[in-house]
Chains A and B, each alone.
Chain A
Amino acid sequence: MERVLQSKASRRIRNEWYWAWFFIAPTIIGLVVLNIIPIFQTVYMSFFKSGDFGKSNVFIGFDNYIKMFSDAQVWHAVANTLLYTLLVVPVSIALAMLLAVLLNGKIRGKSLYRTIYFIPMVAAPAAVTMVWKWLYNTQFGLINYGLGQLGLPAVNWVNNPNVAMISIAIIGIWSVIGYNMVLLLAGLQEIPRDYYEASEIDGAGKWRQFFVITLPLVTPTLFFVLVTSMIQSMQVFDVIYMMIDVTNPAYENTVSLVYLFYNNSFKYSNKGYGSAIVMLLLVIIMIITVFQMKAQKKWVNYM
């Protein structure tokens, strides 16, 4: 009797295993083929020099890495990528936070504002960059026309090496504000109303409420937004690719790591060198993420 029960139980357990393996099979097989194996292949390829047409790969040990560390363009790309991140992440999060706080209270037209601010998020970056490039046009652009009306000199937004990165960052900020705002707004709405009511009874003003209640309690969302937008910014490609071609005088001052990866891997078909560049990107992102995980203990309040 006991044995029958036992075998029945174990049959049920096994039945659950089979179903579970069946359920995860497509995803796991897909991940192994599409992602896990490619990671090892990329590492492996970074030790090779790709021959013409990618057929005759030659093992060259650490030469790609040695070349990379003495390649001024790679260091420019690292600096440009970090600069882009440093420009876009703080400004976009600060503005998104401001908007989210404004929209969190009782305000008319809340959902209309939310809808409008989110619009850039649903537009293809290629199209967005083209229209900004047109707005930035030195002679015929709307922005320089506006500056002219104010009596200011025209700016060479796209081709001036000292300005181009700022122009690119403006597009980046404009594109991502709505997304960050929506996430922060969701975080703000989780803060219990009673906290505000209690502090109002205690006579706290709006500013004090913001710094004592809102800001500390939204830090988990803020942390999430910070981590994801930093990782996103470190991988910037579309906007720079569309705005700055290789012959642009501002190319050296704007080329990002992923743009350089793309050029080397697919334009110059040196996939070995491209792989080494993408490994560098991986290492930089890992360092930043580990640093943020460590730092979060100091400023993120989990309720």
Chain B
Amino acid sequence: MTHNKIATGVKHLFLIVGAAIMIMPFVWMLLTSVKTVGESTSLNPFIFFPTVWKWENYVEVIQQNNFLRLYINTFAMMAIRVACSLLFSAMAAYAFARLNFPGKNFFFGLVLFQMMVPTQIFIIPQYLMVDALGMRNTLFALVFPGLVSAFGTFLLRQFFMGLPKELEEAARLDGCNIGQTFLKVMLPLTRSGLMALGIFTALFAFKDMMWPMIVNTSSNAATLSSALAKIQSAYSIDYPELMAASVLAVWPMLAIYIMFQKQFVEGIATSGGKL
């Protein structure tokens, strides 16, 4: 019995040390963000906590980089990408899972093919298209590559294939056409799949840095991720202000994650597991 207790203790010790390593950078980010430059670089004595909490760092960073604009850009991009990829992927996924039509295998082959190719191969032509349309530095440019999703189509197809056929047949006998069957009967049953895809899409859009950096170079059209890259080169050594900017870029997604942690973790587990 005591042997078991020691084993459990060692387990917890290991897990707690690991958890501390996971959280520590965020704590340090927060603590540094409210220090003065002098305090952040004072070594003797080493200061973990700021003596005076200098919230002005935030005010300065927000004013100089128009953070309100960055939040709007980022969340508008995320919302539109999630809406488009959920709608279009669900439609296509249902057709691939349940309907018979000429060209089905060929078109599904296209979906699989897209998933196997590294995304960087699309970037230059996508940039040239946005440029040719005169749409650089717009919300459209941010959303453009994420309008449809091969991954989403594949993922939701797996969910539709797992649903019993009887439901559909019953709906059809009741006089629903294919569109109504899809919308009213099948779509509500894939809620967990839609949730998983929505979280995955939102997270990917939020973290993506290269595309917004390429296509929206004006600071008014940037996203949180791409703006940070610029801010870093502008502030180079003022670490408190850099950390304030980082906190401002990290907290919204962190807050959403804490609120919906179960859905996040399970969404990622199912979307990975279904592949």
Contact = CB atoms under 8 A, between A and B. Distances in A.
Interface in B63-100: 87-89, 91-92, 94-96, 99-100
A42 B254 CA distance: 37
B41 A186 contact: no
Contact of A235 (B111, B120, B122, B147): B120
Contact of A122 (B46, B123, B203): B203
A179 interface: yes
Contacts of B138: none
A78 interface: no
B142 interface: no
B228 A124 contact: yes
Interface residues of A, number: 95
B18 A99 contact: yes
Contact of B273 (A187, A237, A241): A187
Interface string B244-274: 0111011001101110011011001110110
Given A262-B210, A265-B124, A127 B29 contact: yes
B167 interface: no
Contacts of B225: 124-126
B92 A235 contact: no
A135 interface: yes
B58 interface: no
A124 B268 CA distance: 17
A115 B265 contact: yes
B15 interface: yes
Nearest to B149: A27
A266 interface: yes
A9 interface: no
A102 B46 contact: no
A125 B207 contact: yes
A26 B110 contact: no
A36 B114 contact: yes
Contacts of A147: none
Contacts of A113: 15, 19
A88 to B, nearest CB: 16
Contacts of B21: 174
Contacts of B207: 124-125, 238
A237 B210 contact: yes
A34 B261 contact: no
Given A20-B104, A31-B150, A258-B120, A124 B249 contact: yes
Nearest to B32: A134
A237 B19 CA distance: 26
Question: Chain B interface residue count: which class?
Answer: 35 or more
B214 A99 contact: no
Contacts of B99: 16, 19-20, 23
Given A122-B257, A134-B243, A23 B125 contact: no
Contacts of B124: 38, 41-42, 45, 265, 271, 274-275, 278
Nearest to A140: B41
B147 A34 contact: yes
Nearest to A43: B121
Interface in B39-68: 40-41, 43, 46
Contact of B26 (A17, A123, A266): A123
A42 B122 CA distance: 7
Contact of A34 (B15, B18, B122): B122
User: Interface of chain A, helix or strand or loop or mixed?
Assistant: helix
B100 A20 contact: yes
Nearest to A187: B273
A140 B88 CA distance: 50
A19 B272 contact: no
A24 interface: yes
Interface in A279-300: 279, 281-282, 285, 289
Given A35-B122, A36-B110, A99-B18, A183 B91 contact: no
A117 B272 contact: no
Interface string A118-145: 1111111111101110110101101001
Contacts of A238: 207, 209-210
Most buried by A among B89, B148, B178, B233: B148
Given A140-B43, A261-B120, 14 more contacts: A17-B102, A19-B95, A19-B177, A20-B100, A23-B94, A28-B92, A38-B125, A102-B15, A119-B257, A124-B206, A127-B228, A130-B232, A231-B118, A238-B209
What are the 4 closest A-B residue pairs judged by CB atoms, nearest first? A30-B148, A38-B125, A20-B101, A126-B228
Interface of A: 13, 15-17, 19-24, 26-28, 30-39, 41-42, 45, 54, 99, 102-103, 107-109, 111, 113-128, 130-132, 134-135, 137, 139-140, 142, 145, 174, 177-179, 182-183, 185-187, 221, 224-225, 228, 231, 234-235, 237-238, 241-242, 245, 258, 261-262, 265-266, 271, 274-275, 278-279, 281-282, 285, 289
